[in-house]
């Protein structure tokens, strides 16, 4: 059965770790699964992602960010996500359209309706079956990143990251059935177990729906 699962969260939330953990767990159970990420996931998207995260010699405006993220996303949806969902796989994506709403609308201040419309065009209306938000206080998340080389977003101000966090929580509150909010301050294993409880229920429900 196909299923689309996305991971969201601010800097240092551990979403990439948990996306990989879920991928391994499903693989171990012989569930057909694909793990991808944004920005990137395709040769074209990787080039855009590099510029978005690591450009040092050029100013990238919020509107340009919006367009570049969605150019990468449109390619990923068309080339990777949709074909694999049609092939019956579980697709896990580390970040997706909700990141752009949180970062470019709430964080950068772009018009929310415009961001949503641009996202919808790039995704062709494809929404996740489950979005997992790893929520963590801004100071704690940024502290986890201090020892590593920081990209453009990680270097932004705590005020910006607080707006991103608040945006995520508003999005989750607006669609509680789609979102699973997990306290990212828990241990990796506890977080993985919480996520698995939800995913395993969705898998079981999908199998039951297929039988009826």
Q: What is the domain-level CATH number for residue 174?
A: 3.40.50.300
Helix (H) or strand (E) segment spanning residue 33: strand 33-37
Structural domain count, the chain: 1
Give residue-wise pLDDT tens across range 43-92: 999 999 998 988 877 789 999 999 999 999 999 999 999 999 999 999 99
User: Is 101 within 8 Å of 167 (Cβ atoms)?
Assistant: yes
Q: Is the dihedral of CA 11, 27, 187, 183 positive or negative?
A: positive
Domain that holds residue 168: 3-211
Phi, psi dihedrals of residue 5, rounded to the nearest 5°: -120, 130
pTM: 0.93
């Amino acid at each position: 059965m196909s299923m689309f699962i996305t991971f969201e969260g601010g800097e240092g939330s551990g979403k990439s770790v948990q996306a990989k953990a879920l991928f391994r767990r499903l693989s171990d159970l012989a569930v057909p699964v694909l793990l991808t990420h944004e920005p990137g996931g395709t040769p074209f998207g990787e080039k855009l992602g590099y510029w978005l995260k690591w450009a040092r010699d050029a100013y990238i405006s919020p509107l340009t960010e919006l367009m570049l993220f969605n150019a990468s996303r449109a390619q990923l949806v068309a080339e990777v996500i949709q074909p694999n969902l049609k092939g019956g796989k579980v697709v896990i994506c580390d970040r997706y359209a909700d990141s752009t709403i949180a970062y470019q609308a709430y964080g950068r201040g772009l018009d929310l309706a415009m961001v949503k419309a641009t996202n919808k065009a790039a995704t062709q209306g494809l929404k996740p079956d489950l979005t997992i938000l790893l929520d963590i206080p801004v100071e704690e998340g940024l502290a986890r990143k201090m020892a590593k080389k920081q990209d453009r977003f990680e270097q932004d101000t705590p005020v910006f990251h607080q707006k991103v966090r608040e945006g995520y929580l508003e999005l989750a509150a607006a669609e509680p059935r789609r979102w699973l909010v997990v306290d990212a301050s828990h241990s990796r294993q506890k977080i993985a177990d919480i996520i698995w409880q939800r995913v395993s229920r969705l898998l079981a429900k999908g199998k039951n729906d297929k039988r009826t």
